[in-house]
Amino acid sequence: MHQPRILITAGASGSGKTLITCGILQALRERGLEVSSFKSGPDYIDPMFHSKVIKAKSANLDLFFTNPEVTRYLFARTAKDTDISVMEGVMGFYDGLGGTSVTASTYELAAATDTPAVMVVNCRGMSISVLAQIKGFVEYKSDSHIKGVILNQMSPMLYPRIKAAIEEEIGVSVYGYVPKITDCLIESRHLGLVLPDEVKDLEEKLTNLAAVLEETLDIDGLIELAGTAPLISGNPPEFEKVEGNPVIAVASDDAFCFIYQDNLRILEEMGAKLLYFSPLADGKVPEGADGLLLYGGYPELFARELHQNKIMRQDIKEKLESGLPCMAECGGYMYLHEQMEDMEGNTYEMAGVISGRAYRTEKLGRFGYIDLTPRKDQLLGMDIGIIKAHEFHYFDSTNTGSSFLARKPAGKREWECICGSRQLIAGFPHLYYYSNPEVPYRFLKQCVSYRKLRSESGGREGCYHPY
């Protein structure tokens, strides 16, 4: 058993690491290797691009959500039976909590998983100055794990001399350069990159990118570097299984696509059966569902279509009002409102479960990691403990709820959030279940209870009122 792996990082966001990571993944796939991929941090969209390349689900590794032991376990579980793993960093290599520490940074992930890191250096407008930048990153921490660099937007004429200088003066390997590429750019929008399915001819573009990287990068050298990573393992957190195999309806389509694969996996490991449906295209929640999950995404881009699917909106409202347990995050929470704005400020009627209106703002609100603690009795109970989560949204609500208190892990900022009842929690925070396995466990227990009460009432609607 072996776990070859490398981590692609950079000095800052916007350095090209997602594009280069996808190109490397494509090149490895075209060599016939089975590849697993990971994203450092809470981002949803970069793993979607990874998945498009490797034809398998990409996972997140985040040391704010999970301790090093669990993080190593999650890595080893996903990397099992693959030939090589590629991790993509977040932000700048050392950027962590609060912008003032390395906690939960890409650097900390490299250290916790003992993974060799290769730094993408954006060389636009620089020549020999790149050495100072590289030297600073390599030496800022004695155990930086930075073993090499890739020079992005580097002149092919200048590259041989800069490569020689870096390797001679700093002692790290240079694994090639990436010339300026204009035919494989990935556009961004308010929450980050556009989704993979929105990029025209993405697979062709990635194939072309991989062909360029095969010419300009030392792919053999990267594979060799990955092979130096030692075997690691970890242990999962302890959790109970739920009897009864509750059926959970999971919204999954272009409007609701921000889903952590590990969240789904722990639900299944606890005994749940997952049924996927589309609030955009389907007419009702899957038959026999004992619970409902409405994750985040881009409902604001599909507000008209969601509004026009009145049958689905009514079905969700009726089922939640009859007591169907539901957890809704960010976009899913916005969908449950009486009204929601789209990106142009047009207002549409939504599911009508939560009173109020979701509306667009001009800047990110309450951005970043948070610790959640209950303030009121609700679906998960008052003794659930701390739930680690994060927020990332350009929308707000006239009814943000008060069932939980959110605290920034660095600093003193705090606020009330999440609309909650005994059968519902709905708010802007995105939850990561492995941070507190009691979250999925208690949700599934409520789903089993709902099924029993529904059965005792003969399946009639309105059998189990949450309000």
The residues assigned a catalytic role are: 330
Question: Which phi and psi (to 5°) does residue 442 adopt?
Answer: -70, -35
d(CA 284, CA 348): 19
87 phi, psi to nearest 5 deg: -100, 145
Which spans in 114-158 are helix H?
129-140
Determine the Cα angle at 94 with ends 89 and 96, to 5°.
85
CA-to-CA distance for 167 and 134, rounded, in angstroms?
Answer: 11
Count of Cβ atoms closer than 10 Å to residue 422 Cβ:
17
> How far apart are the C-alpha atoms of 420 and 404, rounded to whole Å?
8
Question: In angstroms, rounded to a whole number, what is the distance separating the alpha carbons of residues 36 and 411?
Answer: 36
Sheet holding 395-397, edge to edge: 347-349, 337-341, 354-360, 395-397
Q: Which of 174, 181, 163, 173 is nearest to 124 (CA)?
A: 181
Helix, strand, coil fractions of the chain, as percent rounded to 5 = 35, 25, 40
Residue pair 150/6 in contact by the 8 Å Cβ criterion: no
What type of residue is 258?
F
Query: Per residue in 431-459, is it b (16+ CB within 10 Å) or e — as a string?
Result: bbbbbbbbbbbbbbbbbbbbbeebeeeee
Residues sharing a CB contact under 8 Å with residue 374, sequence separation 6 or more, in sequence order: 380, 381, 382, 383, 384, 403, 404, 405
Distance of CA 274 to the CA centre of its chain: 19
Asked if residue 464 lies in contact with residue 322, where contact means CB atoms within 8 angstroms, the answer is: yes
Q: Strand pairing partners for 19?
A: none
Residue 295 structure tokens: 């994750």
Ramachandran class of 381: left when φ > 0, alpha when ψ lies in -120 to 50, beta otherwise: left
Could you tell me how many residues make up the chain?
Answer: 467
Write phi, then psi, for 179 (nearest 5 degrees): -70, 170
